[in-house]
Amino acid sequence: MKKFAMERMSLNNLFRKPSTRLYPDAPKKYFPNTRGRLVFNLSDCTFCTLCQKKCPTHAITVRREQQEWELERMRCIACGNCCDLCRKGCLTMKNELTKAVILPEREYYRREKPQSSGEDAVK
């Protein structure tokens, strides 16, 4: 049984640089692959409701008649299933996490006229 194994480690740690980051000043670096948050691009969407059907947590609601696409951000588990399935490629994963929120928020996109790409996001 080796003596002072732990003491040696503790002494080493005294003279080392800290392993932690000063968080808000030194933000976390994300990897290109990180599944952070879901990003929706309204302009290509055909409102096919595939993402709504295949979402495991029912976070997405699509209303085809009103041309509306809605995401309940707090229900989204960032699995990326909808991104894999979307035929138009208008759902992507950004490699950043969402900011902390106080209230569960719904992200809401509506196409005003069928041809134009105007969008208004109401929260």
Partner 1 sequence: MGKQTIIPFGPQHPVLPEPLHLDLVLEDERIVDAIPSIGYVHRGLELLVSKKEYAEYVYVAERICGICSFMHGLGYCQAVEEIMEIQVPERALFLRTIWAELSRIHSHLMWFGLAADAFGLENLFMLSWRLRESVLDIIEETSGGRVIFGACKIGGVRRDISPETLRDMCQKLEKLKGHMDRLTGVFLNDRSVGYRLKGIGVLTREDAQRLGAVGPLLRASGVDMDMRRLGYAAYERLSFEPVTENDGDCYARCAVRARELYQSIDLIAQAVSMMPDGEVDTKVLGAPKGECFMRLEQPRGEVLYYVRADGTRYIERFRVRTPTFTNIPSMIHCLKGCDFSDVPNVILTIDPCISCIER
Q: How many residues does the chain have?
A: 123
With b for 16 or more beta-carbon neighbours within 10 A and e for fewer, the 44-68 pattern comes to ebebeebbbeebeeebbbbeeeebe
Q: Which of 54, 63, 64, 88 binds partner 1 (CB under 8 A)?
A: 54
Could you tell me the smallest distance in angstroms from the CB atom of residue 87 to partner 1? Answer: 15
Q: Which of 46, 63, 80, 117 binds partner 1 (CB under 8 A)?
A: 80
* Pairwise CA distance, residues 14 & 94, whole Å: 39
Residue 40, beta-bridge partner list: 91
Binding mask of the shown chain, residues 33 to 52, with x at each position contacting partner 1 by CB under 8 A: xxx-----------------
Q: Is the dihedral of CA 91, 94, 97, 101 positive or negative?
A: negative
Closer residue to partner 1, CB minimum distance, 3 or 123? 3
The residue ranges that bind partner 1 (CB under 8 A) are 1-3, 5-6, 9-10, 13, 19, 31, 33-35, 54, 56, 77-81, 84, 93
